[in-house]
Amino acid sequence: MPNQSHALDLMFQALADPARRSMVDRLCKGPASVKELAEPLTMALPSVLQHLQMLEASGLVKSEKLGRVRTCRIEPSALRSAESWINERRIHWERSLDRLGEYLKANPEMPEVEE
């Protein structure tokens, strides 16, 4: 469990940056070269490479170099683990709110809260 927690920490840290989220969005459409990923961003290539390193460290992105071109691709299984973690929390809160709704229906004498 600690390894999974560390992996999720890295993933959410990687996704916290808008430039990295932009790269992930682009890679969800298909593989892209570093140059293609850098084009829409307003930053120097070394900065783009640092962002890509973070995405790779988090497991969200894999890359390979053929000749002078480094091609990146999304790693779907990493996104699935984040989705699973979020869904577990969503299900918990939906159940809690459902129980609260049932309680309030069963106890109509409860005073209403003014907003």
Report pLDDT for 73: 96
Distance CA 24, CA 76 (A): 11
Answer whether residue 114 is part of any domain.
no
**Element spanning 106, H or E:** helix 76-106
Contacts of residue 56, Cβ cutoff 8 Å, sequence gap at least 6: 62, 63
What values do phi and psi take at 103, rounded to 5?
A: -65, -45
List the structure tokens of 8: 């999720």
Q: Is residue 34, in this structure, part of any structural domain at all?
A: yes
**Does residue 71 sit within a domain?**
yes
Q: How many domains does the chain have?
A: 1
Where residue 66 sits, what CATH number does that domain have? Answer: 1.10.10.10
pLDDT in tens, the chain (115 residues): 445 688 889 999 999 999 999 999 999 999 999 999 999 999 999 999 999 999 999 999 999 999 999 999 999 888 888 888 889 988 888 888 888 888 888 888 866 666 6
Amino acid identity for residue 56 in this structure: E
Domain contains 106: no
Closest of 6, 8, 39 to residue 22, by C-alpha: 39
**pLDDT attached to residue 1:** 44
One-letter amino acid of 111:
P
Q: Is residue 50 part of a domain?
A: yes
Taking the model in full, what pTM does it have? 0.74
